[in-house]
Structure 1
Amino acid sequence: MYQNIYIDIVFITNFLMDYMLLRLVGKFLHLDGKRLRCVLSAAFGSFVSCLLLCVPFKIIFPAAVLIHGGCAFFMASFAFRLKKGGLLAKTILALYFTAFVVGGIYQALETERTMTVKTFLLFVAGIYGAFYTLGCAAETFRFGRRNIYPVTLKYQGKIQQTYGFFDTGNFLMDPVKKQPVSVIKQELLGSLVSEELVKKLMDIRDKPEGLENTELVSLQPHFLSCRTADGKKGLLLAVVLDEFLIQTPGRVVHVGKPVLAITSEPSALGEEYGILLNSRLLN
């Protein structure tokens, strides 16, 4: 029995499915995946699928698992600029799980022989819309009432993801830069720049000559006067990063050149979040 296979249709079908899966997983895990990177990753995955379809021999199961696993590894790491670690493994597992769910629905439609081009496009749009809405609803339910939102920090090409608490009592402003000031955990900043650099930052008060360090200058360290809840005055060391994004249920808030004050007190922030967001940022 022979069956005609149109390789261009196979490529386009796989490409659209892979792109949709990447965008959905990026939404669910709050990954910073650029559209172009997702497009290139989806094209690579579609190319591999077509290549496996065209080989003149049968690929044994262990080899197929390794090939598909390697393909998923490249797609996830390239699309979201992830290196090895727990987040990359979580992303790959999320890709497989989402593909399993979506693939089952697609197979059911194809079995009924109702899969036309129009039906396929409606299927892709419907699945994407449904999963996207579900993700927004789950995010709202989980964090909205507690004012906790996913946050992405960016500095010199490095990306750090965490959660921020919308602190309605934080009105701290940088008098020089005229920017709202959020508060960040010391260890969280260390994971974005380096622990050694953060240590040098925290020594600036006792060793002001450290400001001449080129790496420190790029962070624009400076001190801010603040008043605690009990009325006491103090100084907070603040730095300036390149950008950070706050993912709320309704929109993504982009903050350019954010000013972040560093705190080393574990009790200052909760365990579920690493940043106290300034109340002016979401108004």
Structure 2
Amino acid sequence: MYYELYIDILFLVNFMMDYILLLLIKKILKCTATLGNISLGALTGALLTCLVVALPIPWPLLKILLFHGVVNILMLKIALRLKWDKKLWKALFLLYITSFLLGGILEHVRQYVEIGSLFFVLAVGCYYISSGIWKILDLIFKTGQCRCDVELYVNGRCVTVPALIDTGNTLRDQLTGKPVNIIESQTAEELFGKEIPEGIRYISYHTIGRKNAVMPVAVLDSLRIAGENEKWVDKPMIGISEEKISSDGEYRMIINPDT
């Protein structure tokens, strides 16, 4: 018994599926990767998959290791510009979860599609279904948020505030490209007193209901994110919000996940 495999079809199907999966992971992790990065990552994944399939490797276990230990990791690093840290392994875990989810949806609806060419249209539709499912899960379980205490240091002062690490905060300084964290004006007064922070300037931002707004930004000496995964950050950028960050005061700062 043997199977006839068309390498061009294998490449096209893998490229399309990898592209959709990478888009989903980019959306979940709030990565800054461009569509060009996603395309390059999907291209890498599809080419390496075809190469591993075509090579006469006599050991099935070695092929499995190449697929899961080399192809997938390289594809994620190229597409999402990830470093060798926890975010890469989280992305790898999400790759398998989203593959399972997308594969289940495709398997369920494929029985209603008789024309093979419609498979590609169907796959795109499944992307939006999977994206919607993940968004619902994110709202239920708050997977994109984590609370912690943060110590802010400037000019010999230290202020400790409850903070929220929110993957939805993708604010960056347009001049330097550095991530911007956000504190309330009351916290800024505790840090700087009535003095105007040195080097303060303004960046543009937008939120739901507010477009083309501006926010003052200052640079602190350092900050420490307390907790199990303690982290020190030198010269962090801090945006000062005139509005309350949390209506109930549960947290007074929003941490950019790229900080």
Please indicate, yes or no, whether the TM-score normalized by the shorter chain is above 0.5: yes
TM-score by length of 1: 0.57
What is the TM-score of this pair, normalised by structure 2?
Answer: 0.61
1:15-94 maps to which residues of 2 (within 5 A)?
15-94=15-94
Is it true that 1:261 corresponds to 2:218 in the alignment?
Answer: yes
The residue number in structure 2 matching 1:126 is 125
SS at match of 1:151: coil
Q: Output the CA distance in 1 between the equivalents of 2:117 and 2:19.
A: 18
- 1:95 maps to a residue whose letter is L
Distance in 2 separating the partners of 1:270 and 1:278:
22
Secondary structure at the counterpart of residue 169 of structure 2: strand
Match of 1:117 in 2: 116
Bigger helix share = 1
Unaligned runs of 5+ in 1: 172-182, 184-225
Structure 2 letter corresponding to 1:102: L
Q: What do residues 63-96 of structure 1 show as CA deviations (whole Å, max 9, x unaligned)?
A: 4224432111111111121211111111111112
2:158 is aligned to none
Deviation at 1:17, TM superposition (A): 0.4
Alignment equivalent of 1:150, drawn from 169, 193, 216: 169
- Partner AA of 2:133 in structure 1: L
Alignment of 1:263-282 (within 5 A): 263=220, 278-279=241-242
* Separation of aligned partners in 1, 2:72 and 2:173: 25
Going from structure 1 to structure 2, the CA distance change for 1:78 and 1:16 (only over 3 Å counts) comes to same
Shift of 1:12: 0.8
The alpha-carbon distance between structure 1 residues 128 and 48, as it changes in their structure 2 partners (threshold 3 A), is: same
RMSD in angstroms over aligned alpha carbons? 4.4
Q: How far off its partner does 1:122 sit?
A: 3.3
Q: How does 1:177-256 map to 2 (within 5 A)?
A: 233-238=194-199
**Partner SS state of residue 197, structure 2:** strand
C-alpha distance in 2 between matches for 1:12 and 1:39: 12
Residues 199, 218 of structure 2: 8 Å contact kept: yes
Q: Is the 8 A contact 2:16 2:42 kept in 1?
A: yes
Task: Give per-residue Cα distances to partners, 1:4-37, cap 9 Å, x unaligned.
Answer: 3222111111101000010100100111111011
Q: Quote the Cα distance in structure 1 between the aligned partners of 2:205 and 2:21.
A: 22
The answer as to whether partners of 2:105 and 2:126 remain within 8 angstroms in 1 is: no
Q: Which runs of 5+ in 2 are unaligned?
A: 146-162, 228-235, 244-259
Q: 1:265 to 1:19 in 2, by over 3 A?
A: closer
Cα shift at 1:164: 4.7
Question: Paired residues, what number?
Answer: 212
Residue pair 1:245, 1:255 contacting (<8 A) in 2 also: yes
1:152–1:244 Cα contact (<8 Å) kept: no
* Shift, 1:119, TM fit: 3.6
Q: Secondary structure at the match of 1:235?
A: coil
- Among all aligned residue pairs of Structure 1 and Structure 2, give the percentage whose two residues are the same amino acid: 22
Checking the alignment, whether the CA contact within 8 Å between 1:238 and 1:259 is kept in structure 2 is: no
